[in-house]
A and B are shown apart, each in its own frame.
Chain A
C-alpha cells in the first residue's frame, strides 16, 4: 500500500490546485510523482498523440501523462472537472479529459483515477469528489475526510497569499510538501511585499514601472515553456504583473453580476470578472489577454474584453500562444505594448 506511486500531471488545473493535491496525498501518506516541467520533448510527444485540431494545453496534458507513464507510476490522478459552481460547467475538454486520454493513449500502463468533480465552489474537498480515489486505494472514509479537510485548509492559506498579490509562480518551483509548508508560513510572516505590490522593482530597465494585468488561464499563464516565460519577461522589462488569481472571489462575483448573462464556462467567467476589476482600477496601465490558439471559450471572452477595454479607455492586447518555438513574436508584441504604455504615461 505504501509503495504505490501516484502520478499527477503538471498541466491544466495542476496550476490551480497543486497545493491542495500535494497536501492531500502527503496526509494520506502516499508517494506522489509529478511529471517534469513542460519541455520541447514533452510537448512533441504530446502533439504526436493528440488530435491536430485540439488546443495546445490539451496537447501539453497528453505529453505530461506520457511522461508519468514513463516514470512507471501505478496510478494517474486525473479528475474529471464537471462543475465548481451551480449551473456552470468547465470547458468540454475538461469534462471529457479522462476519456480523451484513454482514447489517445490506449497503451497506457498506469491506471487512471478519474473522480467526477462536482462542487458548489472552488473548494473541491468533499468526499463525494474523491470516492473513486478512496475506493481504488482502499482508504477508509474517515481517513480520507480528515486528509481532505487539512488539504482544504492548507489550500485556503495559499490562496490568501495569492490574494495578497503573490504569483502562482512564487510557489511553483516547489514540489516537496515540507518545503511548500515552510514557504507559505515564511510568506505569511514576511514583511516584504510581493512583486505586484512593490514600489520599486530591481529590473534591468531604468524606465518607469508599469502595471499590467495578465489575463489568462492558469495553465497558460504559468506554464513557462508554453508561454515563453512571459511573466519573467514582463518583470525584466519593469512591469508589475497582476493576474486573475489575485482577485478575490467576491469581487469576481460582483463583476459577474453586471453581465447580462454569464458565460457557460467557470474559468472564463472568473477571467471576465478579474479583467473587469482591473479595467476599473486606476493603477493598472494595460491588460493583456493571453490565450491559446483555438480556445473556444476565449473567442467569446476575448471579444467581450476587447469591446469593454475601449469603454474603460484601457490599453488592451491579445497574445496568442501555440506550439511555436521562436520567441521573437512574443517579445516584439510585449515590448511594443510596454513602450506604448510608457509613452502614454509621459
Chain B
C-alpha cells in the first residue's frame, strides 16, 4: 500500500486535481475548465481518479486545497492543508527547478510574479485592481477574433509585421484592436501585438523596478500559449522555461505542502473519502440581516446536513455550526470536529467582541470591588464563558430558523 497525496487547485477559470506519491511522482493529473459549479467538477474529477488509479495499491494520506475557491472545496473534501496559491506555486516550481530565480504565473484572473533565491520565495507581486492581461482577457479576445484559444499562441508566431496595441486596460486594448484591424493588420499580427501588450502590462504592474534573475519559469494556464512565451523571451532577452505540468503546478504544490503537514503533525488525514462522489451537495446563500454589514452567508449542505457555513464577517454563523449541536457537527469525524472547535476557540480570543466595552466595564468594576487581582481575573473569565455560552445558545435558536 502506497501513500498518495491529493492536490486540488480551484481557480477562477480551471479546476485541477493531481495526486503525488511519496517521491513526488505524479500519479494522476486532471485539468478541467471551471464551468461554474466547482463541487460537481471536483466530484467528477474524483470519479475519474477512481477509474484511473487502482485504489488497491494506493491510499490517500493527505489532501491539500488551494486557489481562490479553496475554502468551500476544503470543507467538501475534508482537506488537511488549505493554503494560498502563491505559496503552492512557489513550492512546486522550486521542487522541479531548485535553481529557479523568477517565476511568472498567469492564470485565469490573476497574474503573479514570484522571486526565488536559493530555492526559497523571497518576494512576490500579484496584479492589483485590474484583470487586463490575464487568461480571461485572452479568452475573450480569442472569441472576438473567432479563433480557438489553443491556436492563439502559434498564430502569433506567424505575424510578419509589428503592431502596437494598448495594454493598460482591456477597454483600450479592445478599441485599439478593432481600429488596427480596420487598418488592415492581419489576425496573427493583432495577436502578436496583444501578446506583447500583455507582457508589457505584466512588466509595468508586477515586475516594476525589480531586477529579474534566471532561471525564468513560466507557469499557469496561459503558459500553454507559445506566443506569450516568446513575447516574454523578447522582453527579458533570456530563455523562458515552461514546465511540463505548467497548468497544474498549483495543485502539485499544494499536494506537496499537504504531505509536509501530515508528516509534521503525524496525524491521519481528514479526507472524507471517495464516497462523497455519491453525496449530494448544495450551497445555500442568504443575506444575514442581524447588523448593517448584511454579509452574504453561504451554507454548504451535504445530503441534507450542513457541513460548513462561511462568508460571515463576525463568525457567528460559522461558529453556530460547531457550538450548536446540529446533526452535521455530530456526524463529522470526531477528530476533525475537535480540531475545528479548538481552532475556533483560539481565534475567538482575538476576535474583537462587539460587546467589548461592556466586558471591559464589567471587568473594571470587578477590579474596583475586589482588590485582589487574581480573584478579579477568575471572575472575568467566568463572565466571559457565561457570555459566550449565552451567545451560543441564542445562535442555535437563530440557526434553526434557516436550517
Contacts and interface: CB of A to CB of B under 8 A. Distances in A.
A is bound by B: yes
A315 B122 contact: yes
Interface stretch (A10-18, A95-103, A157-165, A334-342): A334-342
Interface residues of B, number: 39
Contacts of B364: 179, 182-183, 186
B350 A203 contact: yes
A140 interface: no
B352 A224 contact: yes
A293 interface: yes
Contact of A343 (B83, B121, B293): B121
B357 interface: yes
Contact of A40 (B83, B121, B293, B351): B293
Interface string A76-110: 00000000000000000000000000000000000
Contacts of B209: 306-307
A59 to B, nearest CB: 15
Nearest to A183: B360
**Secondary structure class of chain B's binding surface, majority of residues:** mixed
A320 B68 contact: no
A75 B192 CA distance: 62
Interface string A178-192: 010011001000000
B84 A332 contact: yes
Contact of B350 (A42, A224, A232, A307): A232
B84 A306 contact: no
B338 interface: no
B367 interface: yes
A336 B86 contact: yes
Interface residues of A, number: 43
A123 interface: no
A312 to B, nearest CB: 13
A331 interface: yes
A175 to B, nearest CB: 7
A40 B71 CA distance: 23
Interface stretch (B32-40, B124-132, B239-247, B316-324): B124-132
Interface stretch (B220-228, B230-238, B301-309, B341-349): B341-349
A282 interface: no
Contacts of B68: 328, 332
Interface in A314-346: 315-317, 320, 322, 325, 328, 331-333, 335-337, 339-340, 343-344
A173 B360 contact: yes
A235 to B, nearest CB: 5
A218 B356 CA distance: 20
B136 to A, nearest CB: 16
B320 to A, nearest CB: 19
Contacts of A344: 120, 122
B208 interface: yes
Contacts of A203: 346, 350
Contact of B84 (A307, A315, A322, A336): A336
B84 A232 contact: no
5 contacts: A40-B294, A169-B352, A229-B352, A232-B352, A315-B123
Given A183-B364, A186-B367, A203-B350, 18 more contacts: A39-B293, A173-B353, A173-B357, A306-B208, A306-B209, A315-B123, A316-B123, A317-B124, A331-B84, A332-B68, A332-B85, A332-B126, A333-B84, A335-B84, A339-B87, A340-B87, A340-B122, A340-B123
Interface of A: 36, 39-42, 169, 173-176, 179, 182-183, 186, 202-204, 224-225, 229, 232, 235-236, 293, 306-307, 315-317, 320, 322, 325, 328, 331-333, 335-337, 339-340, 343-344
Interface of B: 68, 71, 83-87, 120-124, 126, 128-129, 208-209, 291-296, 313, 342-343, 346-347, 349-353, 356-357, 360-361, 364, 367
